[in-house]
């Protein structure tokens, strides 16, 4: 029943060896995870030039060389800077708007009754179709890309927050009022923490969407940015350049996902607990 006690009672030596064992098993499972990726890269390297012309698919070593060259020469930095700005600003604006909108509509049934049909209708529009329009409205600079990323992120976060706030147990909220909470305290102690898992889920899901928004915007029309770089590489038959651009985007999403995961674990510690108290009443 009580794992804590049994671990503490075991002699030190056996605990040490079990720590080693768990480290070894962790390393083994890590290697196992890496295996498919390595196999895919090896196959790509091998098949390129044999099965498929290299001009179509490039090959991992060429992509790596290209990446090195791009960073060594500094050619990529202006693109990175532009796209980075667009991503961060678009994401932040979209998340903020989604949280505010979702929270307001979630708490007020009256507002929800008026605005929900509109939000749902706009939700149905393929946001990518708005790209040309945003270029007209906000120009070919970073404004139009920020708008596109923000609107894609907004709907995702909005919907999650709205659902999260509405899922708060009515009885728990009432109980908190009886305990003496005013509306502000109710928000802070009940609605925020109860909606937090939904907010974080929305934020995490929104990361790739912000990338889509920005890249599509840059494809459509732009002066600078990774999207433009990829677009130009593909129109000059430079698959290594295309893949290099994609790898950079991949790295961005991976980092953002890692950060979101860290935030989630930190804020939602109460959801992921495994230890239990001794079960005597």
Partner 1 sequence: MNDAVLSFSDIRQDFPAPGSDAGIRVIDGINLDVGIGRFVAVIGPSGCGKSTLLQMAAGLLMPTRGTVHHRGRAVNAVNREVGFVPQQAQLFPWKTLAQNVELPLLLRGVATAERRERVAAALDAVGLSGFERYFPSQLSGGMQKRGSIARTLVYRPDVILMDEPFGALDAQTRMVMQNDLQMLSHNAGATVLFVTHDITEAVLLADNVAIMSQRPSKLLANIEIDLPRPRNVFEPFKNPGFEDAYDAVWTVFRSQIGIRNQPH
Nearer residue to partner 1 within complex by CB, 148 or 203: 203
Q: Which of 24, 27, 175, 263 binds partner 1 (CB under 8 A)?
A: 175
Owner of token pair 């502000």: 184
Q: Which of 7, 29, 108, 174 binds partner 1 (CB under 8 A)?
A: 174
Is 249 near partner 1 (CB under 8 A)?
A: no
Q: With CB under 8 A as the contact rule, which of the stretches 149-157, 206-214, 232-240, 271-279 interacts with partner 1?
A: 271-279
Is 169 near partner 1 (CB under 8 A)?
A: yes
Nearer residue to partner 1 within complex by CB, 134 or 198: 198
Is 279 near partner 1 (CB under 8 A)?
A: yes
Nearest to 119 by CA among 151, 89, 149, 79: 151
Structure token pair of residue 125: 């529009």
What minimum distance in Å lies between the beta carbon of 169 and partner 1? 7
Is 5 near partner 1 (CB under 8 A)?
A: no
Is 176 near partner 1 (CB under 8 A)?
A: yes
Nearest to 162 by CA among 210, 123, 211: 123
Q: Which of 124, 178, 236, 266 binds partner 1 (CB under 8 A)?
A: 178
Please tell me the distance from the alpha carbon of residue 25 to that of residue 22, in angstroms, as a whole number. 5
What minimum distance in Å lies between the beta carbon of 131 and partner 1? 40
Nearer residue to partner 1 within complex by CB, 99 or 131: 99
Nearer residue to partner 1 within complex by CB, 15 or 271: 271
The whole-angstrom distance between residue 86's C-alpha and the CA centroid of its chain comes to 15
DSSP class of residue 52?
Answer: B
Encode 17-48: b = buried (16+ Cβ within 10 Å), e = exposed: eeeeeeeeeeeeeeeeeeeeeeeeeeebeeeb
What minimum distance in Å lies between the beta carbon of 202 and partner 1? 18
Nearer residue to partner 1 within complex by CB, 41 or 196: 196
Is 271 near partner 1 (CB under 8 A)?
A: yes
Are 183 and 107 contacting, i.e. CB atoms less than 8 angstroms apart?
no
Helices (H), ranges, the chain: 3-9, 12-47, 54-57, 60-73, 77-107, 109-124, 131-138, 142-166, 170-179, 183-186, 192-220, 226-235, 239-267
Q: With CB under 8 A as the contact rule, which of the stretches 138-146, 180-188, 221-229, 242-250 interacts with partner 1?
A: 180-188
Count interface residues toward partner 1 (CB under 8 A).
26
What minimum distance in Å lies between the beta carbon of 114 and partner 1? 23
- Crossing angle of helices 239-267 and 192-220, rounded to 10°: 170
DSSP string spanning 178-236?
HHT--HHHHIIIIIHHHHHHHHHHHHHHHHHHHHHHHHHHHHHS-SSSHHHHHHHHHHT
Nearer residue to partner 1 within complex by CB, 163 or 224: 163
Q: What does the binding site for partner 1 look like in residue numbers (CB under 8 A)?
A: 169, 171-172, 174-181, 185, 189-190, 193-194, 196, 270-271, 273, 275-277, 279-281
């Amino acid at each position: 029943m009580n794992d804590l006690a049994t671990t503490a009672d075991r002699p030190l030596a056996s605990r040490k060896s079990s720590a080693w064992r768990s480290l070894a098993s962790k390393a083994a499972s890590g290697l196992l995870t890496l295996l498919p990726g390595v196999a895919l890269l090896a196959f790509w390297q091998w098949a390129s030039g044999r099965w498929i012309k290299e001009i179509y698919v490039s090959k991992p070593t060429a992509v790596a060389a290209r990446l090195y060259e791009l960073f060594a020469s500094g050619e990529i930095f202006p693109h990175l800077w532009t796209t980075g700005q667009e991503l961060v600003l678009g994401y932040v604006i979209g998340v903020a708007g989604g949280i505010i909108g979702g929270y307001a509509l979630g708490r007020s049934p009256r507002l929800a009754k008026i605005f929900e049909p509109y939000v749902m209708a706009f939700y149905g529009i393929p946001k990518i179709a708005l790209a040309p329009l945003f270029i007209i409205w906000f120009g070919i600079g970073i404004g139009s890309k920020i708008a596109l990323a923000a609107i894609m992120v907004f709907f995702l976060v909005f919907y999650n927050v709205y659902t999260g706030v509405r899922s708060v147990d009515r009885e728990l909220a009432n109980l908190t009022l009886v305990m003496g909470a005013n509306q502000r305290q109710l928000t802070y102690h009940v609605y925020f923490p109860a909606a937090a898992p939904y907010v974080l889920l929305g934020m995490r899901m929104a990361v790739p969407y912000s990338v889509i928004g920005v890249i599509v915007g840059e494809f459509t029309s732009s002066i600078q940015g990774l999207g433009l770089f990829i677009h130009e590489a593909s129109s000059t038959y430079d698959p290594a350049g295309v893949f290099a651009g994609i790898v950079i985007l991949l790295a961005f999403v991976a980092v953002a996902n890692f950060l979101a995961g860290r935030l989630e674990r930190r804020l939602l510690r109460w959801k992921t607990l495994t230890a239990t108290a001794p079960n005597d009443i």
